[in-house]
Every structure is written in structure tokens, then in C-alpha cells.
Structure 1
Amino acid sequence: MSVQLGVSGLNLIPQSTAYGMLIGLGVGFCGVILAAVKIQKAYLSEDSGKSEMFMVANRSVGTGLTASAVFSSWMWINETVFSAAFCYKFGIAVPFWWATGLCFQIALMAALGVLAKIRVPYAHTSLEIIRMRYGWIGHIVFIILNITNNVFGCASMILTGSQLIYGISGMHFVAATILIPLGVVLYTAVGGLKATFLTDYLHTLVALILIIYFTLKTLTHDAVGGLGGLYDKVIETASENYIERNYHGSLLTMKSEDAIIWGLILKFGNLALVVMDTAFWQKSFATEVNATVPGYNLAAVAIFGIPWGLGTVIGLTARALHNTPIWPTYPEEFTLAQVNAGLVMPYTIKALIGEKGIDAFLVLVFMSLTSTVSSSMIAVSSILSFDVYKTYINPKASDKRLVSVSHLTVVFHAIFITGISIALNYGGADMTWIGYFRPILSCPGIIPLALTLCWSGQTRLAAITSPILGFLTGLGIWLGTAHAIYGEINMQTTEGSLPALYGAVASFFSPALYSVLISQYKPYKFDWRRFLLIEILEDAQLEQSTKTEEKDGNDSSTSDDKNPNSSVLKPEKILDPEQNGSLSGEEKTSTAVNAKKSVLAGEVNLDDVEHPFDEETLKLLRKWYRIAWALFVGIVLVTFIIWPMPLYRDYIFGKTFFKSWTTVAIIWQFFAFFAVVIYPLYDGRYEIATGAKGVWHASRRYFGSRK
């Protein structure tokens, strides 16, 4: 149930328009972000030429921008285009199950992110944590899992977008595949993570305006007649829109076997896409102490309304209109291949809004794609620069050298992912099969990665072997179930929804069992203080490398001095990240020096290790940690059980219930707009004012000097 490649639809817009918009939008966004990066450096003391700024934005991003960035990174093109396509195929249950499959992962990352701040406050990537605890073998295993997950996810989005652009304009697939990441490379390579936060905000602003516009414009069109008119048309055409395995074949029921099975597969796949993607970890590392939990959970709640509202309205409208004269393919049949290619939404927009609507749709596609690609670029760049280059190639790399390598790896990833996407297309890739295989490949690492932060008893052997055994278990159950149900194993039988679901369940849960059992062999309790050595190692190596460079060493402390909530705080020695302690100023200085000397000498006394947070900050973080888990449990209970399960019965939505259901979904879209577009402006009002004043004074000086 994924995008079908190579499907040519009607040319809804000229190729020249598609080329112009892709190139123009890419160049335009690049210019805006590069200007913003210059303003940050000049007036906010945020220099993306420093690795700490490039990788984790000086750990100073506030709640509003965090929510916007996480929302944008998770608002993939699937949430818009394919929620409508699958609503067309299976009915009103799909957009809701899609929404429930988006929010709980982000809530989980809030809990893991704040725990990482407590235990590994100076991490740059999740893989640094793995290396510190399990050594190079575990590090390599999780690098492979992370990069594979990232490549599959990013390539599938580029393939989806390229197919859509090809389907509505006739633009060559290769051209679309190259142009999509082109502009993203420039601002990501120069601006780093903070640039992606800013572009994520702009993407979110434009995308949400268009999503709300498409939803309301569709409903208010005369051919639809509002919510009541849409309901009447769906009921009138029920005989020609019969859905197998839905209650009474209705589009207007939550009792849909295909929808619920697909929703479960989506949950496992999306969980892997979030937890095994170091980009979501980096965003949590980049946030202020007070911003991680509220920022991530705000995004988790806001994202719920996107597939639910848009998918419901567009999908049902397409069902009601696809056999009428205003439909673009009429009197020809609207084929299943065209549905699977994602053409439900653009055809509906063309029928009701016209060519200008298709132009706006192309902008929405661009926004969804580039936010995904930019997040992927920073994630892979961080892995290749920190976890590969600095770890295994040049451990003494200076800060300047590390940023240069990061720039190069951004470009490398763009070229690589473009090549992979083109190869998959020309190789006749079956994206449905890839979509089902990806959870089986990526899910085995989720629980061992989470236990790395949550359980001191997980041993090195358990962490290394449990993902591998979990993958083999999931693969075996996937193939075995396909053979048991269909009698043979091939591409067609392994695309069945039940074998894929059973395989994903096994891949996710079995590593937990393997980890616990293997950890009983030579049990070992990890000392959480060892995670604090990440920062000491960085400082020690940086001090050593700067001795060989002619470089000013006093330019490292900038925005953190101005931001009292930043994660980079004055050191406070403690014996354990979970406990508090205090030292005099002289003791702090001497223990810091001793710890760095010990690291360089290869000898570490954990009693000399300092935690960067003071007592009050640690208390605050532990409080946020408890809140994060409470919110996660609440979101799971409400969206998995309390809300949907009572509706999974022999029931077809009545007119009043349908209107109320869809109205709430539309209101949720407006909530999302206020949460991730309006609120970030308020949250960052002081930085915006500072930057605006700086630009204003600089402009006055410039124009005054020309008089």
C-alpha cells in the first residue's frame, strides 16, 4: 500500500510550470535561509561555522521552533497526498488511523530526548551514545541500521514526489528527482541544523495554509455542497463505491479490516522512522532544557489533524465525484494504478479549483519533500562526520575541520540519495514491497536503542546481537506467514498485509526478549557517569587539536551566555546524573582539569567527572521526564483504545455524526496552525526583535553612507 511508480496521468500543468516552480522555489528558499543565517551570525551570535551550532544549534532552540521543526520533519508527503488516496480506497477509517500512527512516536521521543539530556547532555547523535556504551562493534551495527532506515525513508519520499510531479506535469522522472534535493543542499550545507529549523518553520507556514485552503475550498464548492452535501453524495453513490471487508461495504464506517491492519503496520513503520532516525534525536539535543517535552508533544498533538481532516475531505470528495463530468479523467475510468500513484488529491483539486489549484498543490508537494530531505541531510551528515570521520578516520579533527567535513557529507548524501532514487525507479522498484520490508529491517533496533538510555543492565553482547536476531526473527515470520497463508513465497505473497504485520510485530518485540535473556549471561551494570565523558573527550581533543592551529580560542561561548535556559550551563560536579552534589569553585576547576588530563592519558576516574547541569536544572529535567511519560501513555490510550475502539463496530456514520466528526478534524487543522506557526513567533519574539533591529540599523548605516 505505497506509491506506484511509472504511472502517467493527465498533464494538469505544463512541464515548463513544473520546472519553473521547482527551480524557483528551491532558489527562493535558499536565498531566504542564507540571509537568515547571516542575520543569526551578525546579530544573535549564532555561528553555523562552529560544529556545536551546525550539529545541535548550540542546544538553544525554544519550544515554538522545536514544535514547528518536528512537525515539519514529520509532515511527510504521505500525510497529505496518500491519506486522501487511501481514504478513497478504504474509507473514512484510514485518515483517522493514519493520524493515530503519527503522534505517539513523537511523544515517545520527547521522553527519550529529555532522558538523553539528563544522562548524555553533550551528545551530538544517538550513535555517539551507542559507541560510548557498547564500543565500535555496536557502533557499526547501529550506524548500518540508522543509515539504512534513513536512506529507505528519504528515497521513498523523493520517489513519491517525483512520481507525483511526473504524473501531473509529464516532467521527466530523473529531472524531478534531481531538482527536489538541489536547493536543499545549499542552505543545509551552509546553515546546518538551525537552518533546517528555520526552513521547517517556513515549510510549515506555507503547507498549513495550503492544507486548510484545500480542505475548505473543496467543501464549499457547489459540486460538493458542504459537509451535508458531501455526506449525501457519498450515500447516493454507495452502490458504485462498495468497499470489500468494510461493514456493509460502506466508506462511512470505522469497521474496516484493511484500514485497521494497515494502520497497525503504519505504526510500526513510523516508530522505526522516528526512533531510528538520528535527526529526531538531534532536534531534541538542540532544544533548551524547558523546550524538549512541550515542543515535541505540541507537534505530536498538532500533526494529528493533518491526515485526519485533509484525507477525509479530499478522499470522500473524490469518491463522490470520480464518475461525474467535472472529473479530469471522465468519461475514462479512474484506475487503481492512478489511485496508488497518489493522483486522487491533484485530480480532485483540478476538478474543483482548476490550474491555479494545481500550482498550489505543487508548492505543497515541494514543502513536504524538502523538509524531509533537509532533515535527512543533517542526520546523515552528522553520522558520517561525527560517528565515522571523527571516530575512525581523524579523531583529532578540529572544530573547523569537522564543519568542513559536514558540508561535504551533506553534498555526498544528496548525490547518493538522488542516485539511489533514480536506480530504484529504473530498476522497477515495488514501493509497496519496500514499504512492508522497511519495518522488518528497522524495528529491531528500537528497543535496544531505548534500553541503552533506560536500563543499565543491558550488556554489550545483548545490544549487538538482539537487533540482528530480531531482524532474523521478523524476516522468518514474514516469509513463513506468507507461505502458510498463500502457499508460496514471492513478491506478490510477501506484499500481503497480514504477513507484513506479523513480521513487523516480531521484529519490534523479539529484541526485547533477546536483550533480557542475553544480558543474564555475564550480567553487568553500566555506570551512567560514563556518558558524561562524551563532553570531556570532545573538550580534551579540541584543546589538543587547537594547539596545532592558529585560531582564536575565545569564540566558543556566544548565545549560551545570553540564554539562561540553554543546555550548555555552568558545570556542577555530581557523582551521578540522577543525583545532586556541590563543589567549590576551586574544586570544580581542578576536577575538570584532572578529568581532561585523565582522558588524554587513557585513565578515567569517574569521581572526577562533572555534570554540566546544576541541581535545579536536574530537578527540572526529572520533572519533565515524568511529564513526558505521562503524556506518552495518555496519547497511546486515547488514540489507540479510548477513542477508536468503541467505533469499531457494526455502525455507519449518520449525517450529524459525520458532520461533527469532520468539523472537529478541520478545527484541529486550525489548532495545528496556531501551535506550530503562530506560537513560534511569540516564543521567539525577542530573537526576532533583536535580529530586526540589527538589520534596520545596518540598513540605515549602509544607505546613510551612500548619501
Structure 2
Amino acid sequence: MSNTLDTANLALISQGAAYGLLIGLGVLFCGVILIAVKIQKAYLSEDSGKSEMFMVANRSVGTGLTASAVFSSWMWINETVLAAAMCYNYGLALPLWWGSGLCFQIALMAALGVMAKIRVPYAHTSLEIVRMRYGRIGHLVFIVLNLVNNVFGCASMIMTGSQLIYGVSGMHFVAATILIPLGVVLYTAVGGLKATFLTDFLHTAIALILIIYFTIAVLTNPVVGGLGGLYDKVVATAGENYISGNYQGSVLTFKSKGAIIWGLILKFGNLALVVMDTAFWQKSFATEVQATVPGYNIAAISVFGIPWGLGTVIGLTARAIHNTPIFPTYPGTLTSTEISMGMVMPYTIKALIGDKGIIGFFFLLFMALTSTVSSSMIAVSSILSYDLYKTYLNPKVTDKKLVKVSHLTVVIHGVFITGISIAMNYGGANMTWINYLRPVISCPGIIPLILTLFWSRQTRLAAIISPVLGFFTGLAVWLATAWSMYGAVDIAATSEEYPALYAAIASFFSPALYSAILSLYKPYIFDWREFLRIELQDEAKLHADSDSGTPSESGYENSDSKNAKDSVKSITNIPKSESMQEEDSDRIDEVNEKAPAKEQLSLPVEKQSLDDIQHPFDEGTLKELYRWLRIAVIMFVVIVLVTWVAWPLPLYRDYIFTKSFFSGWVTVAIIWQFGAFGAVVIYPLYDGRHAIATGTRGIWNSSREYLGKRGRS
């Protein structure tokens, strides 16, 4: 593996310790989630053996757990490890641009999630929405787009993690690549989406504690000397840390061309990783009606401070001490390969905190990796089991069989991404190149997918063709620009900033133009009520299963009596926090009491008149959802204006931070980290206090009963 061989002699911990940590943490988390699944089923009536629980957590997840899970899913290695490396490359402007490149996508997803609840209240995946609107071909196109995005994003994180583990310990990257997803496959296959919510919370809590610890421990180390000491050392070493493209070459200026270009590329790539990742849609589908917008926006605001605070402190500290004897590479210098691998952070931690710091870094690395992999597991599993297997291979599949298929696809996905990650490692890819490639392959489907929910005039032809044309447009721009500017088409040329930026812009915006032109070619207006057939199809299958004990073969709804329909609607109109905790069997029993099994509809769901289809939510619930939609749109606009315009652009001038301004800048970033801890660790515990109390009481009572029986025997 040519891109990391030069770091093998700088192993910071032994291979034995690395193997022990990687395997031990995997086993530990697998055990924790197995216990949590048992508790959920026994005391909280949450059975991951049912597909609705496995895929969308019974749509009952509250605000706090939503915020924690979204934060964890979005806390990739990039925003910790690579943010520090890129701060080392471009100066203190980069971490803030990185933070602004993380939060607006989550705020946008809040608006998309609420609109999905309004338009398609009972969808399981975003692809199900596409199939209902654009048919089989459109469905297959977006399946490919989503799978490529999920597989590529997840595999790139595993590849990055294996390179870091190799650099830190010397463990062979193939072994690291295999061990990283192994434990995640086990607990995800057993626990489903709710399991990832629970482990996401644990990941978030542990990772944030470590992030805050690293930030403060490095800053207060005697070698650094606090905020003032760090500033003085950076100023004193300015001559050896000149950065081309920065104002006066300083790392302490916000005027950095490289940082702003990197920030723009990051924004496009990260937008794709959210909108085109079914995991974020599923977390939205899994939330209660009133939890989607606050949960996602809490996560959006919280995540901003992580790369800002940690990246600034670690990146600038590395600049200050990289030519001193305590730095692991001394007397050599940090190579571009080591920076691209993300080794700036572990080297700095090793120099200032020592072996215990490296062990803590290993924990942080594991938390960031497994949270990413687990959400990808559920997303891809849902695509393969629900959108492919159930839709095209076995439409009559039972719920129990569907869950088994979901378990199997989790394992298949784990094996597949492991192979892809190994191939990328052997191919010489690194985090920088991956970040430049990602927008090209992931961005073309973003606008067509958003328009699927917001623009009734996007036609089937436009939705199918525009992302394909967008991909080839972005790829052509990327390669042509690399050839024109650098005379080659290879990893080195395509790792340059300008080709990647132009390609990202072309990949993102060109599908909008193609979609508009193709939609005007043969105009068509889509009736949003068509989306409600998804709920009717599920309802019809529910009746069919209750009547015959077998899957519905026709897809017909099993009652034409008004009383039966009213009974089902009354169930769906109960607030989510109550109704979604009911078992499927309870719903079937209630329907059967009011609807004789012999009565059946004469028309299939697909042929029922739209005038006869009613929204499952009552008027009050819909008004509440539209209110949340307005709030989500306002929050998205405010976050974009503040983090893109009002905050950073006034600083983009001929100015080098003074000591007082720098001290205030880093202090606010650290306070933001503590605020994030309160929002996504402390608040979820408070928000879920009733479920925690219920589970605790159940365990206590069961323990007493068990001990009592043992005592009597």
C-alpha cells in the first residue's frame, strides 16, 4: 500500500494493543446492544423482529434520541481527524468553513423530513417515494444512486480508519478493514434501526467526552501554554509555517483561498451524503411527528462546534510543535501523505498527552467509524430487502421473512464494503482524493430527489435522465479540467482543488437544468394524493394477513365497509408517541372487531379513485406538520445565512487575528463543544426519562422475582 508505507516505522502503539482495542470494543458494543434489544422487547414493547421496528423504529423516536442519533451519524472521522489535518494545511479559517459545511445539510433534511411526513406519512425509505411517483425505471435509477452513495461513503470511512489504524499501530490495513465493521454487522443485524439509535447515543457520549478532553488537554499542556501560549508560538514560527494563498502566508488569517475552496467542495459532498443517504431519511421516518424538526436542528447546530474547536486547537498546535524534538516525526517533517491520511492529530496527541492519549484517540476513532457504518448498514439493508427483494423478487413475503432478509443483507453489505475498502486502499486512495471524488458521483441525484417532494411538474423522464446526465457532466468537467490545468488525468491531478470544485458545481447544478428542460418537453402535473396509496397498500396487507394468516396475493384492501376504514383511520390519527408503541397484532385485532373478515374491496389499491383516498392524519396533525415545515425552512435559511455569509465573509479580508481576538475565537469554540454535549448527551437522557424509568423498573422487578425464586428453591 504505497500511500502509507512510509509511516510504518512511526507506530505510536503496539499492534497487540491495537488488535485488543479493536476486537474488545466490537465485542463490548455488541454485548451492550444485545442486552438493550432484550430490554426493549421485554419492558418497552419494542420488538426488532418486526419489520416496522427494524426499519423505522415504529416511528416513535423522540426529540433527544433523534438529535443524538443524527449527530452521531454525521460525526464522521473527517470532522475530527481530517479537520485538524486541513487546519494544519490552510490555517484557522478551515475549521470554521468545515463546521459550516456540516450543519446546513442537517437543517435541510429537517425540512425534507417534515415534507415527507406530510406527503408520504407511511414511507419506509426515500426510494419507496421515488417508486410511487416515477415507476420501476425511476426506482431502479435511484436505487443505484443511493447504493453508490451509501457504499462509497461507508467504504471510504472504513478505508480512512484502516489507514489511520495502520499509521498509529502498524496493524495491517486489511486486518483493520475486516475488524472495523465486524462488530457493527453483528449488533445491527440483531437490533435494527432502534439499535443504531441506542448505540449512536453511546458513541456520541464517549466521542464528545474525548473531543472535549483532547481540546482542553492539548491547549493546557505546559508545552503549549494555554490560548496565549499557543498564539505566541504560532506567531514565533510564522516564518517556517508560510501558507501560499493565505494573507501574508499566515495560519492566523481568515483570508485563505485554499480554505474557502476546500470548504465549498466539502459542502457539495456533504450535502450528497445526507440527502442521498437513506439512513437520514429513515431516521426522519422513525421520529415522532413533533420530534423531526427540533431533533435535526439540535444536531445541526451542535455539530458545528466539533471541527471548529478541535480542528483549530490540534491543527495550530501541530504547526507550533512539528519541528520540535517531542514531535514523533522529528527530525523529519510531516509529509503530504501523512497529512492526507490524517496523522496530524494522533502525532500531536502522542507528543503532548502520550500513550494514554493514543488509546483515547483509538476510542474516538472507533466511535466515529462504527456510528457511520451502523447507519449505512440499516440504510443499505432497507434498500436491498424492502426496495429490491420485497418489491421485485418476493412481493408476498411475510413480515418475519422480510426481517430475516434484512439481517442477511446487513451481513452481505458488511462483506461488500470491506472488499471495496481494501480495493481502495490498494488503489492508493486517501481522504483528500475521496473528498474530491464524492461530489461528482453523489451530487447528481440531489435536486431531482428534492423536487420529487416539492415540485409536482417534474416528469418521470426528467427524474430518470437528469441525474445520469448530471453525473457524466460532472465527471467530464473534473477530468477535462485536470487535463487542461495539470496535463494529466491521475490521482495527483484530480486531487487538485480547482478541478474538484468545478466538477462539484457541475454535478450539483446541471441536473436542475436538465430536469427543467425535460419536464417542459412533455408537461405533466403529479397529484400528491398518489403518495397516500403507500399507506393503503400497507393497510390492505394488514387486513389480508389478519384474515388468512398468509401474505396478500392480490394487493387488495380487505374491507369496503366505512366502519372498517374509520377504525383504521382512528388508529393512524392517534399521536405517534402513543399509537406507534402498539403491536401489529393489537391493530389487527381492533380492525377485525369492526370489520368482518369476509368483506373485501372490489378494487385494488392502485385503481381506487383519488377522491376516495383520505390522508391518515387529521386536520390538527397536518396543521402542526405545516407549522413545523415553516420552522424548518426558516431555520435552514438562517443557518445558511449565518454560517455562509454573516459570520465568515466579513472576516475574509486583509487581517491577521490578534491575541485577544484569537483567544475569544477559540473560547467560543470550546463553549460550543460543551453546549453540544448538553444538547445531544444530557438532553436525550432527560427526554427519554420515562422510557428509562420503565425499563429500569422492569429490570428491577424481574431481578427481584428471579432472586425470590432462587431463594425459595
SS at match of 1:124: coil
User: 1:124 deviation in Å?
Assistant: 0.5
Q: Contact 1:536 / 1:599 at 8 angstroms: preserved in 2?
A: no
Distance in 1 between residues matched to 2:12 and 2:430, nearest whole Å: 25
Task: Give CA-to-partner distance per residue, 1:155-184, whole Å, 9 cap, x none.
Answer: 110011111111111111111111111111
Matched, 1:658 2:666: no
Q: How far apart are 1:489 and its partner, in Å?
A: 3.8
Aligned-partner Cα distance in 1 for 2:113–2:598: 29
Deviations 1:337-367 (A, max 9, x none): 2222211111111111111111111000000
Residue 8 (str. 1) matches residue 29 (str. 2) = no
Q: Write the distance in 1 (CA, Å) between the matches of 2:393 and 2:224.
A: 62
1:598 corresponds in structure 2 to 603
Cα–Cα, structure 1 residues 267 and 352, in superposed 2: closer, same or farther, change >3 Å?
A: same
User: What are the superposed Cα offsets for residues 677-699 of structure 1, whole Å, 9 maximum, x if unpaired?
Assistant: 00000000000000000000000
Q: Which AA in structure 2 matches 1:26? A: G
User: Percentage identity across aligned positions?
Assistant: 71
Contact between 1:396 and 1:541, CA under 8 Å: does it hold in 2? Answer: no
State the 1:376 CA deviation: 0.3
In 2, Cα distance between the equivalents of 1:230 and 1:624?
44
1:183/1:593 Cα in 2 relative to 1: closer, same or farther (>3 Å)?
farther
1:500 to partner: Cα distance: 1.1
Partner of 2:587: none
- Partner residue of 2:639? 635
2:120/2:129 contact within 8 Å kept: yes
1:253-272 equivalent positions in 2, closer than 5 A: 253-272=253-272
**Aligned residues of 1:398 and 1:546 also touching (Cα < 8 A):** no
- String of CA shifts for 1:293-337, please: whole Å, max 9, x gaps: 000000000000000000000111111111112112222323222
Tell me what 1:610 maps to.
Answer: 614
Tell me how far apart the structure 1 counterparts of residues 601 and 20 of structure 2 sit (CA, whole Å).
55
1:623 aligns with 2:639: no
What is the deviation of 1:543?
A: 4.0
Query: What is the distance in 1 between the residues matched to 2:648 and 2:179?
Result: 41
Q: Report the more deviating stretch, 515-524 or 106-115.
A: 515-524
Letter in 1 for 2:265: I
Rounded Cα–Cα distance in structure 2 between residues aligned with 1:595 and 1:272: 44
Gaps of 5+ in 1: 571-584
**Following TM superposition, by how much is the alpha carbon of 1:234 offset from its aligned partner in structure 2, in angstroms?**
0.2
| Contact 1:569-1:612 within 8 A present in 2 as well | no
**One-letter amino acid of the counterpart of residue 623, structure 2:** K
- For 1:201 and 1:408, the matched residues in 2 are separated by 25
1:546 deviation in Å? 6.0
C-alpha separation between the residues in 2 aligned to 1:419 and 1:385?
Answer: 21
Cα 1:5/1:534, change in 2 over 3 Å: farther
Does structure 1 residue 698 correspond to structure 2 residue 702? yes
Aligned to 2:215: 215
| Aligned 8 A contact 2:398 2:550 in 1 | no
TM superposition shift of 1:564: 5.0
| Residue identity opposite 1:35 in structure 2 | I
Shift of 1:596: 6.1
Is 1:378 the counterpart of 2:381? The answer is no
Contact in 2 for aligned 1:396/1:542 (Cα 8 Å): no
Larger mean Cα displacement after TM superposition, 334-343 or 436-445 = 334-343
Deviations along 1:47-71, one digit per CA (max 9) or x if unpaired, are 1111000000000000000000000
Q: Does 1:361 align with 2:364?
A: no
CA distance in 2 between partners of 1:594 and 1:133 (Å): 30
**How far apart, in 2, do the equivalents of 1:7 and 1:30 lie?**
35
Residue 491 of structure 1, CA deviation: 3.6
Determine the structure 2 residue equivalent to 1:426.
426
- SS of residue paired to 1:69: helix
Alpha-carbon distance change, 491 to 85 in structure 1, aligned in 2, over 3 angstroms: closer
Cα shift readout 1:354-405 (whole Å, capped 9, x = no counterpart): 1111111100000000000000000000000110000100011111111110
Aligned to 1:179: 179
Distance in 1 between residues matched to 2:550 and 2:128, nearest whole Å: 29
2:29 is the alignment partner of 1:29: yes
1:242 aligns with 2:242: yes
C-alpha distance in 2 between matches for 1:165 and 1:105: 29
User: 1:594 and 1:528 mapped to 2: Cα distance?
Assistant: 29
1:193 maps to 2:190? no
- State the SS of the aligned residue for 2:660: helix
Helix, strand or coil: the match of 2:420? helix
Partner amino acid, structure 2, of 1:8: T
- The 5 A counterparts of 1:291-690 are 291-429=291-429, 431-544=431-544, 549=549, 565=577, 598-599=603-604, 602-690=606-694
Query: When the two structures are aligned, how many residues end up with a matched partner?
Result: 685
Q: Report the CA distance between 1:77 and its aligned residue.
A: 0.5
Contact 1:288 1:567 in 2 (8 A): no
TM-score, length of structure 1 as denominator length: 0.93
Residue number in structure 2 paired with 1:578: none
Which residue type is aligned with residue 359 of structure 1? I
Alignment RMSD (CA, Å): 2.5
- Rate the CA distance shift 1:63–1:77 in 2: closer, same or farther, 3 A: same
Query: Residue 604 of structure 2 aligns to a residue in which SS?
Result: helix
CA gap of 1:400–1:561, structure 2 versus 1, over 3 A, is farther
Distance in 1 between the 2:645 and 2:20 partners? 47
| Paired amino acid for 2:291 | A
Q: Which runs of 4+ in 1 moved over 4 A?
A: 3-7, 545-551, 559-564, 566-570, 592-597
Counterpart amino acid of 2:286? A
SS at 1:611's partner residue?
A: coil
Change (3 A) 1:678 1:152: same
